[in-house]
Amino acid sequence: MKVYQTDEIRNIALVGGAKSGKTTLAECMLLEGGVINRRGSVDDKNTVSDYRDIEHERQNSVSSTVLYAEFGGKKINIIDTPGFDDFVGEVVSALKVADTGVMVINAQNGVEVGAEISWRYTSRNNTPVIFAINHLEHEKSNFEETIRQLKAQFGNHVTICQYPVNAGLGFDSVIDLIKMKMYKYSDNGAVQELDIPASEKAKAEELQGILIEAAAENDESLMEVFFENGTLTEDEMAKGIKAGLIHRGMFPVFCINAKHNMGIKRLMDFITTSAPAPTEMPPVKTTEGKLLKCNPADPTSILVFKTTIESHLGEVSFFKVYSGEVNESSDMVNGNNGTKERLSQLFVMAGKNREKITKFVAGDIGATIKLKNTATNETLNTPKIADDIIEPIVFPDTKITLAVKAKNQGDEEKLNAFLHEMHKVDKTFTISYSRELRQLIAGGMGELHLNLIKWIVENIEKIPIEYIVTRIPYRETITKKAKSMYRHKKQSGGSGQFGEVHMMIEPYTEGMTFTNEFPIRGTDEVQLDWGGKLIMKNCVVGGAIDARFLPAIMKGLMEKMEDGPLTGSYARDIVVYIYDGKMHPVDSNEISFKLASRHAFREAFKNAGPKILEPIYDVEVIVPEEKMGDVMTDLQGRRAVIMGMDSEGNYQKIKARVPLAEMNRYSTALSSITSGRAIYSLKFAEYAQVPGEVQTALLKAYEEEQAEDE
């Protein structure tokens, strides 16, 4: 393949709902672009894009696929993305590097969930959007209703550039309002360019007038021409459409039948002539606010936006060149960690197929293999600008967490290592070990997402695993003062063990006045890793406890703070006064006072009005207005407190505070209630006391668990 220059490159992401036909469209584009000479199909499991075993099994995309096509002297880089919300991270990373989103709409179903979700991310990225209305050959296709829904959801900048003459069974013709021609297709995609028939002339002229006016509105000079002449030429129209695309002032609509390769060549022609080149898009920013212009003459900066692991090839890193040029065997520096990397081989990729290339210039998308210290979302630079970091992809937070464990205990270490490798590939999948919960916690975008990870682990790595409910990180504390003492005594021949500790505990609050019941001789204060404080006051007089045993007493307290007396959860915000005790001249030692301290603390804790605190999260749910009542009812059933509501476009945003314990599998419930049209986010807010009946249930469950362990 030749090295394409920046102005010869177009970068597009195919986005939209599942089953809208994105992968089939990509297959047609590869055929028209000469990458393949025969189209595959999703049903036959032989498409270039959906080539993974899991995609063959599910018959839909679960990961984005990087492709390319050469057309009209231009190179079109194509990223085919999944349509399910569980895999939205693939959409987010694709839109980071694409200059245009081609949103594929199923004419049978209109605006679906996947289109709504993709639209939100194109809005956040200010990505130009072209609508491709697909499945027009189906009996239930409805172009007019689809356009109505597009305008209702996405605004009046949705502009028809083509419309079907005979949508439905037998569909084969469209009117092109830019060319003012009718295209008539045969089943194999061959096309005839014909004059618009008299029966369609009036409608075509009316719609072209709307298109011309919309194009003129996006360029002041064109507006003057329009006012003077009452119309625009085809070239002037193209100029206005491009300006509208770049500034999201126009969203052109095209008609296709991807299954029979109808309209694809015209769509690609429009992409190469009217979609923006990388140089026509705003410069990208670095984390320091520096602007990187898409200029091959500038120092080189690239962003790794995707990583995959391919059999017989290893780790493949996909990148976009934001400035400069990348040559084979380029030496670069990772701006995120300062390590050096050599890009020993460069490839253009079409699914699992690859072709070597010697160079990529600014604006292009390529791949390399076996980077040693560079992961997704990291920047590689020429040594001249080694510290630059391109603004990273902002991936959505995980929506669901489950504990994961290997069914065979001997596989735990191998499982942990592989899941961390999975995080490199998929940044919306998280994995961490919680020392507090004593569980390996997997996080994802939904149950479908985590089930995909399970499939990969069990089918690729051959490790049987299971998901279990994540424990809740409760906290324990007290509400009043209490005293206790404990004598630890053990005699078993020779030197024994002896330690006696008297203590009083009370709740800690910021700015509190400490008791004057005892003389305070010293203070140890610990800022706990899990929040709150432990303060130990040394009030011992008369040498009842030697000072050398105080660290052991503190160690005993900390052990019990980490394993709370009520449920084994972390304890917090407690002041402990050590005011008396006893020693033995021979048998007293550190272990004795540590054990005495632990037992005394546990007894005092249970008599100090103990309470359990639970994590409360701020939840924001963006939901269609007609589903708002159902969503609020469900939240209130989860002990939520509704904090407020706002509008967000055609949606309502519900703000609530909900106990984390009530959010188990919420993503699945919300999807069921709203048919997948709502999204939500979680953010930790505070710890709050659990209701009495909940505390009673937790205490009972912990007692039963302890009894089982014994």
Each residue's pLDDT tens digit, 452-485: 999 999 998 999 999 999 999 999 999 999 999 9
The H-assigned helical ranges of 329-426 are 412-425
- Looking at residue 557, its pLDDT comes to 97
pLDDT in tens, 87-129: 999 999 999 999 999 999 999 989 888 898 899 999 999 999 9
Mean pLDDT of the chain: 92
Give the pair of three-digit tokens for residue 545: 């406890």
Give the pair of three-digit tokens for residue 143: 């172009």
- Looking at residue 668, its pLDDT comes to 86
Instruction: Tell which of 448, 468, 488 closes a domain.
Output: 468
- Looking at residue 56, its pLDDT comes to 81
Q: How confident is the model at residue 314 (pLDDT cuts 50, 70, 90)?
A: confident
Q: Which residue, 404, 330, 414, 430, is CA-closest to 374? A: 330
89 lies in the same domain as 119: yes
Give the residue-averaged pLDDT of 479-500.
Answer: 89
CB neighbour class for 319 (10 Å; exposed up to 12, middle 13-18, buried from 19): buried
480 lies in the same domain as 462: no
- Looking at residue 81, its pLDDT comes to 95
Q: How confident is the model at residue 18 (pLDDT cuts 50, 70, 90)?
A: confident
- Looking at residue 172, its pLDDT comes to 93
Q: Which of 196-200, 313-317, 408-412 has the lowest mean pLDDT?
A: 313-317
pLDDT in tens, 647-663: 876 788 999 999 999 99
pLDDT in tens, 357-368: 999 999 999 999
pLDDT of residue 147 exceeding 70, the answer is yes
255 lies in the same domain as 381: no
Residue 208 lies in a domain: no
Q: What is the pTM of this model?
A: 0.86
178 lies in the same domain as 107: yes
191 lies in the same domain as 86: yes
Residue 338 sits in a domain whose CATH number is 2.40.30.10
- Looking at residue 706, its pLDDT comes to 78
Q: Report the b/e string of 420-443 with b at 16+ CB within 10 A.
A: eebbebbbbbbbeeeeeeebbbbb
Residue 220 lies in a domain: no
83 lies in the same domain as 110: yes
Residue 565 sits in a domain whose CATH number is 3.30.230.10
Residue 449 sits in a domain whose CATH number is 3.30.70.870
116 lies in the same domain as 254: yes
Residue 703 lies in a domain: no
High-pLDDT (> 90) share of the chain, %: 77
pLDDT of residue 429 exceeding 90, the answer is yes
Q: Give me the number of domains the chain comprises.
A: 5
341 lies in the same domain as 447: no
Q: Which domain holds residue 146?
A: 6-200+250-280
Residue 237 lies in a domain: no
Residue 152 lies in a domain: yes
- Angle at which helices 264-274 and 234-246 pack, to 10 degrees? 80
**Residues 6+ positions from 395 with CB-CB distance below 8 Å:** 89, 92, 93, 377, 427, 428
pLDDT in tens, 160-217: 999 999 999 999 999 999 999 999 998 777 899 999 999 999 999 999 999 999 999 9
137 lies in the same domain as 90: yes
- Looking at residue 341, its pLDDT comes to 94
Q: Helix (H) and strand (E) counts for the chain? A: 16, 38
- Looking at residue 709, its pLDDT comes to 60
Give the residue-averaged pLDDT of 20-34.
Answer: 94
Residue 685 sits in a domain whose CATH number is 3.30.70.240
pLDDT of residue 710 exceeding 60, the answer is no
572 lies in the same domain as 632: no
Phi (first) and psi of residue 128, to 5 degrees: -60, 145
High-pLDDT (> 70) share of the chain, %: 99
Give the residue-averaged pLDDT of 545-570.
Answer: 95
Residue 219 lies in a domain: no
Give the residue-averaged pLDDT of 414-443.
Answer: 93
**Residues 6+ positions from 435 with CB-CB distance below 8 Å:** none
101 lies in the same domain as 165: yes
Q: Report the b/e string of 177-200 with b at 16+ CB within 10 A.
A: bbbebbbbbeeebebeeeebeeee
Q: How confident is the model at residue 154 (pLDDT cuts 50, 70, 90)?
A: very high
Residue 300 lies in a domain: yes
- Looking at residue 424, its pLDDT comes to 84
Give the pair of three-digit tokens for residue 596: 């005495």
Instruction: Tell which of 609, 640, 660 closes a domain.
Output: 609
Give the residue-averaged pLDDT of 51-58.
Answer: 82
Q: How far is CA 643 from CA 620, 632, 669, in A?
A: 10, 11, 21
Q: How confident is the model at residue 644 (pLDDT cuts 50, 70, 90)?
A: very high
118 lies in the same domain as 26: yes
Residue 29 lies in a domain: yes
